[in-house]
Structure 1
Amino acid sequence: MSSTLFSVDFGNYDDPNSSTQKLKEAVQGVSTSLTSPNLADYFPILRIIDPQGLKKRAEFCFGKLLAIFEDLINQRLESRQNGSPKKNDLLEALLDQREQYDISLKEIKYILFDLFVAGADPTSGVVDWVMTELLLNPKEMSNVKNELRSVIGDNKQVEESDISRLPYLQAVIKEVFRYHPPGPLLIPHRAEADIEINGFMIPKNTDFFINLWSMGRDSSLWPNPDSFEPGRFINRKIDFMGTNYELLPFGSGRRICPGLPLANRMLHLMMAALLHNFNWKLEPGMTAQELDVSDKFVLSLRRVVPLKAVPYKL
């Protein structure tokens, strides 16, 4: 994610004092602040005193992240002034278009902030769920790995152009979107006028949520909804681009998630690389029956106990 946005690799977690670890902690802090139950939402008079300290914590974490992005922007501006070669990333593209579209540096900073926070947390959560389900379902794991071996070969790395030739991998990710939607309630919507839906009158200005988690487990929409069955998507023209309403992990219409194209590429490439290059097993002493698959909703749907999987080569 960081390489795509600003050509910096934040994938090193060895040093607890590194910028990577600080960034991870800041993202987690933003996620916790945004999703923790807040008494002030129910009793507005409490907003002034912030009894749980959520506003103070949110401001600290937001400020920490924004400072990191501001520093990256300033470094890039200095690099451009010194005549250094241009980078092939989103930050460079935004700076190139800044004058033509009248984009301020502040707006660029907040665009990077939105994309990184909204993209990093749900994406890593989906990877966790995909690996969990495949480890719990060895047959599905074998099907995916066989497809990768057949299409890609043993000595070649997966590229973006290969994704369209990997229907079973696509089916696995669709099944995870159905069974463990990263945004189980989507973004809140508001009725712009009084409207009747299925005999229910929805008054104007009503806030409402789309319960994707429940839809994904609805037996009238999905046969065997509580079973992980990627094969249900094979030879079926159903995608998650917003036109098939039974599968809407990114929403639909004008409010569809703007990060869909990026998430689509990143998820398939990451999962293909992880599964093609390594075999996987649970941590020593852990069996599939002991694996805790209970979930919790933070900024996205996550496992209560994150997966620990061990890669190995045969």
Structure 2
Amino acid sequence: MRKVFVREMLSGRNLDACYDLRRDEVEKAIEYINRQVGTAIDIGELTFLTEMNVIMSMLWGGTLEADQQNKVGAEFRKVFAKMLRLLSKPNISDFFPILARFDIQGIEKQGKALLQIVEEIFDAVINERVKIVEDEIKNAGKKKDSIHILLELEKQEVDGVKINMRQLKAIMMDIVIEGPTPQPLWLS
């Protein structure tokens, strides 16, 4: 799966196709900074949001209209923030694994609820993507986005690997969660 992902989605051709999306998001961030002259700007938050927007654009930029993309992005950011808070909570089950099945703090239950919300977001985006006809993409000159590439991989077998919808969503989750994860400066 990892080899297929790297070869198909992170190829130079596909990254070049997303260049305009990345440039547009960086330009938006620079414009925002220019409008904020004389006020304090949280560069860490701005960087995080810009990176998140770039990933969202690359993931479903060709699928959703700008308004829809902003709405989905905002919704996903809320869920993402909740996930980070949940994952950063100390969990007693980490120290006493025998207590894990009881989920004393409700962390597993909350995590499953958040994953359900993420899955609903992905389902909506994928369903929207499936509605788009191949000819419309070719005729409109739209570039393939990551969802389109993943849906193509779902239909064919590459290197003996055929992905299913659950794996497709897991790859999307990895892309979105791993990309903009903020890290302390000392880890950079």
TM-score in same-fold range (> 0.5)? yes
- Match for residue 99 of structure 1? 155
Shift of 1:11: 7.4
Correspondence list, 1:101-250, <5 A: 101=157, 102-122=162-182, 179-181=185-187
Runs of at least 5 residues in structure 1 that lack an aligned partner in the other structure: 13-17, 130-178, 183-314
- Match for residue 148 of structure 1? none
Closer/same/farther in 2, CA of residues 64 and 37 from structure 1, 3 Å limit? same
Correspondence list, 1:36-115, <5 A: 36-80=89-133, 83-85=135-137, 87-101=143-157, 102-115=162-175
Kept in 1: contact 2:59–2:147 (CA 8 A): yes
Kept in 1: contact 2:56–2:73 (CA 8 A): no
**Amino acid across the alignment from 2:84:** S
CA distance in 2, matches of 1:90, 1:80: 16
Deviations 1:273-299 (CA, angstroms, capped at 9, x unpaired): xxxxxxxxxxxxxxxxxxxxxxxxxxx
TM-score (norm 1): 0.35
- Match for residue 32 of structure 2? none
**Amino acid across the alignment from 2:136:** S
Deviations 1:103-128 (CA, angstroms, capped at 9, x unpaired): 21221111001110111223xx5xxx
Runs of at least 5 residues in structure 2 that lack an aligned partner in the other structure: 1-54
CA distance in 1, matches of 2:143, 2:151: 11
Closer/same/farther in 2, CA of residues 71 and 87 from structure 1, 3 Å limit? farther
Shift of 1:3: 0.7
Is it true that 1:30 corresponds to 2:30 in the alignment?
A: no
Task: Say how many residue pairs are matched.
Answer: 122
The structure in which a higher percent of residues are strand is: 1
TM-score (norm 2): 0.56
Query: Larger relative CO (CA 8 A, sep 6+): 1 or 2?
Result: 2
Kept in 1: contact 2:60–2:147 (CA 8 A): yes
Shift of 1:77: 0.9
